[in-house]
Amino acid sequence: GNSVTQMEGPVTLSEEAFLTINCTYTATGYPSLFWYVQYPGEGLQLLLKATKADDKGSNKGFEATYRKETTSFHLEKGSVQVSDSAVYFCALSDHNSGYALNFGKGTSLLVTP
């Protein structure tokens, strides 16, 4: 079955540091890949997505590239801000599941001034 593995948190960074959150997946077929973000006290929001191999999703300075050869979708940001403190979830869906999502366990990010 489909599954997502992402790096354990919490991750604590200083403002303007470089961020990488690793995500790898197992899937049959050709899934779409997503990063969702959950800010403190808020609901889940789509951060970025990629629907096929070599696609790069980007939003708010975050990027992730769909790497089929390594089954990975690592999230990166060149310079994090305090406002990026949140929980980040990697997820996948495939057309067979009708876009139901398999989520990773989430990675908590804390950015300090």
Q: Give least dist CB 96 to another protein, A.
A: 12
Q: Does residue 105 bind another protein (CB under 8 A)?
A: yes
Q: Does residue 113 bind another protein (CB under 8 A)?
A: no
CA-CA-CA-CA torsion for 84, 71, 6, 96, nearest 10 degrees? 90
- Residues 6+ away with beta carbon under 8 Å from 56: 50, 63, 64, 65, 66
14 vs 52 by CB, closer to another protein: 52
Q: How far apart are CA 68 and CA 77, in angstroms?
A: 21
Q: Does residue 31 bind another protein (CB under 8 A)?
A: no
- Residues 6+ away with beta carbon under 8 Å from 60: 47
Q: From the list 28, 29, 70, 99, which residue makes contact with another protein (rule: CB under 8 A)? A: 99
Q: Does residue 106 bind another protein (CB under 8 A)?
A: yes
Q: Does residue 94 bind another protein (CB under 8 A)?
A: no
Q: From the list 77, 104, 109, 111, which residue makes contact with another protein (rule: CB under 8 A)? A: 104
